[in-house]
């Protein structure tokens, strides 16, 4: 059974997609061990509690410096003995100590087709603002492993979504969530739970079942 920790900061619709996918059997052999929030007011915490999942808030604001926060987050996740960390709208830069402790065992959902509109400053609604400002006709979402860079880790799965002429950042964000994020994130977790994802030379291979 794959034990996962889902890390959140906000609304938690991707967390909800994972909870629903476990409930309806789209994801099997997986248990959400804990939901960790960086923000005590995140609605994602309520979603977790409604589903009977253990929650904890580890906020950078509770520590005098970043090092203390990084240490606490890493130690907590090691102590919970999770197999996989899922970043689902976790708006905190992931510390190197955590990446080293969970090499190729941290995945992130990003709301664009990496390498477009990613890296420093590209998160949440800003990603969609940038995509519309550039006038792209296709955007989408990416699930990737987390390495020391920002959105630079091995890509596991991507899904394209059409940009419409009258899109606003909000309508584009919603369509990308519905058509891409809420599908590919559960799909990747299920593949990992069945040992079908491997990394070699920084590239991901998905084996046939
Ligand atoms: C999602 O669109 C996710 O892809 C994005 O934040 C949103 C969180 O929504 N993540 C990033 O931008 C990470 N760089 P949610 O809390 O409703 O799942």
- In whole angstroms, what is the distance from residue 6 CA to residue 18 CA? 9
Backbone angles phi, psi at 75, to 5 degrees: -65, -40
**Per-residue confidence (pLDDT) for residue 58, from 0 to 100:** 98
Q: Across-strand partners of 56?
A: 36
With pLDDT > 70 as the criterion, what percentage of the chain qualifies?
Answer: 100
Ligand 1 atom nearest the C-alpha of 91 is 13
> Among 194, 141, 136, which residue's Cα sits nearest to residue 165?
136
Contact (Cβ atoms closer than 8 angstroms) between residue 194 and residue 26: no
With pLDDT > 90 as the criterion, what percentage of the chain qualifies?
Answer: 100
DSSP 125: H
128 is catalytic: no
Residues 6+ apart with CB under 8 A from 63: 69, 72
Q: At what angle do helices 182-193 and 13-23 cross, to 10 degrees?
A: 50
Pairing, β 197-200 against β 55-57? unpaired
Number of H helices, E strands in the chain: 7, 9
Task: Kindly state the average pLDDT of the residues 18-30.
Answer: 98
pLDDT in tens, 83-129: 999 999 999 999 999 999 999 999 999 999 999 999 999 999 999 99
Other beta carbons within 10 angstroms of residue 100's beta carbon come to 10
Task: Kindly state the average pLDDT of the residues 55-77.
Answer: 96
Any ligand 1 atom below 6 A from CB of 140: no
> Among 104, 89, 96, which residue's Cα sits nearest to residue 47?
89
Ligand 1 atom nearest the C-alpha of 42 is 16
**Per-residue pLDDT at 209 exceeds 90:** no
Other beta carbons within 10 angstroms of residue 188's beta carbon come to 24
Strand ordering across the sheet containing 155-162: 55-57, 30-37, 2-8, 84-87, 106-110, 138-145, 155-162
- In whole angstroms, what is the distance from residue 120 CA to residue 112 CA? 14
Other beta carbons within 10 angstroms of residue 51's beta carbon come to 16
Q: Give pTM, 2 decimals.
A: 0.97
Q: Which of 17, 109, 143, 152 to mutate to test the pocket of ligand 1 (most atoms within 8 A of CB)?
A: 109
Residue nearest ligand 1's atom 14 by CA: 123
Q: Which of 9, 37, 44, 89 to mutate to test the pocket of ligand 1 (most atoms within 8 A of CB)?
A: 89
Out of 70, 110, 128, 144, pick the active-site residue.
Answer: 110
Task: Kindly state the average pLDDT of the residues 11-35.
Answer: 98
Any ligand 1 atom below 6 A from CB of 11: yes
- In whole angstroms, what is the distance from residue 30 CA to residue 27 CA? 7
């Amino acid at each position: 059974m794959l034990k996962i920790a889902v890390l959140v900061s906000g609304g938690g619709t991707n967390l909800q997609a994972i909870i629903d996918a476990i409930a309806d059997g789209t994801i099997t052999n997986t248990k959400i061990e804990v939901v960790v929030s960086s923000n005590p007011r995140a609605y994602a915490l309520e979603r977790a509690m409604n589903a009977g999942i253990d929650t904890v808030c580890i906020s950078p604001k509770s520590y005098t410096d970043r090092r203390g926060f990084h240490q606490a987050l890493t130690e907590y996740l090691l102590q919970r003995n999770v197999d996989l960390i899922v970043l689902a709208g976790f708006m905190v830069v992931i510390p190197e100590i955590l990446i080293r402790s969970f090499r190729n065992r941290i995945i992130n959902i990003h709301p664009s087709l990496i390498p477009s509109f990613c890296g420093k400053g590209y998160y949440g609604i800003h990603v969609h603002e940038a995509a519309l400002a550039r006038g792209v006709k296709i955007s989408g979402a990416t699930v990737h492993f987390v390495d020391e860079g920002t959105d630079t880790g091995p890509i596991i799965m991507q899904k394209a979504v059409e940009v419409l002429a009258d899109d606003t950042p909000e309508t584009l964000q919603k369509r990308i969530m519905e058509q891409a994020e809420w599908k590919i994130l559960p799909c990747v977790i299920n593949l990992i739970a069945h040992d079908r994802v491997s990394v070699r030379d920084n590239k991901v291979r998905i084996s046939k079942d």
